[in-house]
Amino acid sequence: MIQNSVPYKEKSIVFIGFMGSGKTTIGEAVAKKLYRDFIDIDQTIESEYGLSVTEIFNQYGEEEFREREKALIKKYSLHRLKVISVGGGAFLQEEIRNTCLENCIVFFLDLSWDSWKDRLDILVESRPVLQGRSIDDIRELFYNRKGIYALHNSKLNTDDLNVEEVSQYVIDSLKTSWELYN
């Protein structure tokens, strides 16, 4: 296993999981509690282009978005003391999985299909990957994507937890691992 020189406590935290699982919301809350900078990769790309992710997909194509996503994650995963939320498709790319797992603490926010589907209506407009798909297609995507999130350092099922409870669980779990591995 590749070792890097960043002390365990200073490693950046990366949130992964399916679209709408709460990476952006929880990442921001955790960053605030830890007094760390928060970086949301989608928001960073949106500010660079001055466009929403949906508009970037429509005007420049998914491939260009994926390249920018990869470049930014490769850069920020080498920074210390950040909280980074990546898009739900980021872990499809091996280079992204590798850089995050080698340099950061990767936290998987898991959610059951039954809980997730209640969020579908609020997600579609801003998630181009969901647009024009039937509910059966989306369910298939949901289960297929589970495989890419299997590589992580910690995981939490958030079905019955609100934002505050999830954030606090993440903090408690990090504190335990910082004590154990210090």
Ligand X SMILES: Nc1ncnc2c1ncn2[C@@H]1O[C@H](COP(=O)(O)OP(=O)(O)O)[C@@H](O)[C@H]1O
Residues that bind ligand S3P (CB under 6 A): 19-20, 23-24, 42, 53, 87-89, 127-129
**Segment interacting with ligand X, rule: CB under 6 A, options 23-31, 47-55, 62-70, 136-144:** 23-31
Which residues ranging from 118 to 157 are in contact with ligand X (CB under 6 A)? Answer: 119, 122
CB of 180 to Mg ion, least distance (A): 29
Residue 84 interacts with which of Mg ion, ligand S3P, ligand X, none, CB < 5 to 8 Å by class: none
Q: Does 25 bind ligand X (CB under 6 A)?
A: yes
Number of residues that bind ligand X (CB under 6 A): 16
Computed over its alpha carbons, how large is the radius of gyration of the chain? 16
Contact assessment for residue 67 and residue 123, using Cβ atoms and an 8 Å cutoff? no
Residue 155's binding partner out of Mg ion, ligand X, ligand S3P, none, with CB under 5 to 8 Å set by partner kind: none
CA distances from 83 to 59, 73, 113 (A): 29, 12, 26
C-alpha dist (Å) from residue 36 to 13, 58, 164: 10, 33, 17
Measured between alpha carbons, how far is 33 from 27 in angstroms, rounded to an integer?
Answer: 10
Token output for 38 = 């928060």
Among residues 73 and 174, whose Cβ is nearest to ligand S3P?
73
Q: By beta-carbon distance, which residue lies closest to ligand X?
A: 22
**Given the complex with ligand X, which of 113 and 181 has the nearer CB atom?**
113
Known binding residues for Mg(2+) are 24
Query: Which residue type does 91 have?
Result: F
Where on the chain is the footprint of ligand X (CB under 6 A)? Answer: 17, 19-25, 85, 119, 122, 158, 161-163, 166
